[in-house]
Amino acid sequence: MTNIIEPLSVDVNNHNPSLLVATNSVRLTSCIRLLLITLAIIVGLCVIASIISIVVVFTGLSTDDVYTTAATRAISSSASYTTQIVTTEQLSTSVQTTNNNSKCQLLTFAPYTSILAGYFPQSITVNDFNGDNHSDIAIANRFGNNVAIFLGNGNGTFRKSTSIPTSSEPIFVTNADFNNDKKLDIAVVHHGSASIGISLGFGNGTFAMPMNFSVGNSPYYAAVGNFNNDNYLDIVITNYDDNSTTVLINSQNNSFISSMNISTGSAPFGVIAADFNNDNFTDTVVSNSNNDTVSMFLGYGNGTFHLPINSNTMTSPLGTAAGDFNGDYKLDLVVANVDDNSISILLGNNDGTFQTQIVYSTGIWPWSVATGDVDEDTYVDIVVANSNSKFINVFLGYGNGTFRKAMNITTEAGPWDVAISDFNNDGRLDIVALSSNYFTLNILLNTC
Ligand X SMILES: *[C@@H]1O[C@H](CO)[C@@H](O)[C@H](O)[C@H]1NC(C)=O
Whole-number minimum distance, CB 186 to ligand X, in Å? 12
CB-wise, 43 or 247, nearer to ligand X?
Answer: 247
Whole-number minimum distance, CB 210 to ligand X, in Å? 5
Q: Are 11 and 17 in contact (CB under 8 A)?
A: yes
The whole-angstrom separation of Cα 219 and Cα 427 is 36
Whole-number minimum distance, CB 163 to ligand X, in Å? 11
Whole-number minimum distance, CB 33 to ligand X, in Å? 33
Whole-number minimum distance, CB 434 to ligand X, in Å? 20
The whole-angstrom separation of Cα 342 and Cα 37 is 36
Q: Are 381 and 401 in contact (CB under 8 A)?
A: no
CB-wise, 25 or 168, nearer to ligand X?
Answer: 168
CB-wise, 76 or 315, nearer to ligand X?
Answer: 315
Name the residues that contact ligand X, by CB under 6 A. 100, 132-133, 153, 155, 157, 165-167, 197, 202, 204, 206, 209-212, 242-243, 251, 253, 255, 265-266, 279-280, 290-291, 300, 302, 304, 398, 400, 402, 408
CB-wise, 77 or 169, nearer to ligand X?
Answer: 169
CB-wise, 32 or 249, nearer to ligand X?
Answer: 249
Q: Are 387 and 416 in contact (CB under 8 A)?
A: yes
CB-wise, 256 or 416, nearer to ligand X?
Answer: 256
CB-wise, 3 or 204, nearer to ligand X?
Answer: 204
CB-wise, 78 or 251, nearer to ligand X?
Answer: 251
Q: What would you report as the CA-atom Rg of the chain, rounded to the nearest whole angstrom?
A: 21
Whole-number minimum distance, CB 431 to ligand X, in Å? 16
Whole-number minimum distance, CB 87 to ligand X, in Å? 9
Whole-number minimum distance, CB 3 to ligand X, in Å? 25
CB-wise, 81 or 398, nearer to ligand X?
Answer: 398
Whole-number minimum distance, CB 74 to ligand X, in Å? 19
Whole-number minimum distance, CB 379 to ligand X, in Å? 10
CB-wise, 4 or 338, nearer to ligand X?
Answer: 338
258: buried, middle or exposed (CB in 10 Å: 19+, 13-18, 0-12)?
Answer: middle
Q: Are 121 and 142 in contact (CB under 8 A)?
A: yes
Nearest to 445 by CA among 108, 95, 109: 109
CB-wise, 90 or 251, nearer to ligand X?
Answer: 251
Whole-number minimum distance, CB 435 to ligand X, in Å? 17
